[in-house]
Amino acid sequence: MKTAVSRTYSANDYRTKESDLTARVRALESILLEKKLVSSDVIEKLISSYENDIGPMLGAKVVAKAWSDPAFKKRLLENATAACRELNIGGREGDNMVALENTPTLHNVIVCTLCSCYPWAVLGLPPNWYKSPQYRSKIVIEPRKTLREDFGVNIGPEKKIQVWDSSAEIRYLVIPERPEGTEEMSEAQLASLVTRESMIGVGVVNPKKSKTKAGRRK
Amino acid sequence: MRSSKYKVQDSRQEVKQLISNMDGHAALPRKNGELVFQSPWESNTFGMAIALHKNGLYDWEDFRNLLIQKINEWQSKPTANRREWNYYERWISSLEELLVKKGIITRKELAQRTFEFETGLRDEGHHSH
């Protein structure tokens, strides 16, 4: 991630600047969309053609470490922001991150019902479907059905599903269950199994790296 | 508007060409050879600037020259009078200025809309176009 830079400004200045620029860019984008000079589809495609997977890789690293190091996992669940910082991950909107652990009886899913708040410091830019109005409403109303029908993920009846609504203040990251048969794996090997979808909660981690991507919607 | 027919690979090639002659201070930030964006607004700015050019609103050279000019302006300001360096902030400034110059948008509507976003008068309709 970012290497430490000398800071001659306070965290507050930083936040102000980021939010100024966010508003400014959104304003321009909204005017251009309104005038139909550009479509958000094309913008997204241009970005995604360039966005490498640095984002999700960071999240995968966090998950793999949590699986391998119980003390780290404990710190992560207590204060995800601080724990991620140990790995040099975070800053900016990585502030106030909360890690949610999936267990044999609980499955966590994240959404942002208002817009598209996303733990992008660890997962990169949000996928298109995450921002779609369909996902944002459906996952809240019928999580089990949405996971099954739209993501091909069957969550057994023994598991409670908890949907978490992200906001600008709190961003969630799901720590998926560690698959069986991975006891001998190194952290790096484990990280390669962890998908972006599993950290949003719309996928599960398979013991073998699969080429097929979950979470494809039309 | 061309949209769904777009092939990601093609656009990657095209973009590569566009940015290939941006170097020195105008060069895009990279990590391991790949472009990096620190925030969503940065990648959106990048996406908009290229999309608008592709849609024929301006020549890439015009954008690039303005960008170089903006970068130079920042550099020639005394340290006390400038915010810390952010590459894509120069992009958004250049993009706004170019669109205003071309008469595509006005400063006034830009200011008004920015105010609406800042104050929450206009909220997240943005993604559900």
Q: What is the pLDDT of residue B124?
A: 52
d(CA A204, CA A187): 18
User: Which chain B residues contact residue A19 at CB under 8 A?
Assistant: 118
User: Which residues of A are identified as catalytic?
Assistant: 112, 115-117
- Specify if B86 maps to a domain: yes
Contact B125, A114 (CB under 8 A): no
| Best CATH choice for the domain A54-200 from the list 2.60.120.460, 3.40.50.300, 1.10.150.20, 3.90.330.10 | 3.90.330.10
Give SS3 for A111: strand
| Closest among A51, A50, A174 to B13, alpha carbons compared | A50
Question: Given the structure tokens 């936040």, which residue do they identify?
Answer: A15
Average model confidence (pLDDT) for chain A? 83
Q: Is B101 exposed, middle or buried (0-12, 13-18, 19+ CB in 10 A)?
A: exposed
To probe the interface with B, which of A14, A49, A57 has the most B CB atoms within 10 Å? A49
pLDDT in tens, B53-78: 989 999 988 998 999 899 888 888 88
From A117's Cα to the closest Cα of chain B, the distance in A is 10
- The ipTM of this complex is 0.85
Token pair, residue A93, equals 């909107």
CA B52 from centroid of its chain's CA atoms = 10
- Specify if B2 maps to a domain: no
Residues of chain A with pLDDT under 50: 1-10, 53, 93-94, 210-218
Q: Which helix (H) or strand (E) holds B21?
A: none
d(CA B95, CA B50): 10
Q: What is the pLDDT of residue A133?
A: 78
When divided into structural domains, chain B yields a total of 1
- Specify if B1 maps to a domain: no
To probe the interface with A, which of B39, B87, B88, B123 has the most A CB atoms within 10 Å? B39
Which CATH number covers residue B102?
A: 1.10.472.20
Q: Which residues pair with residue A99 across a beta bridge?
A: A173
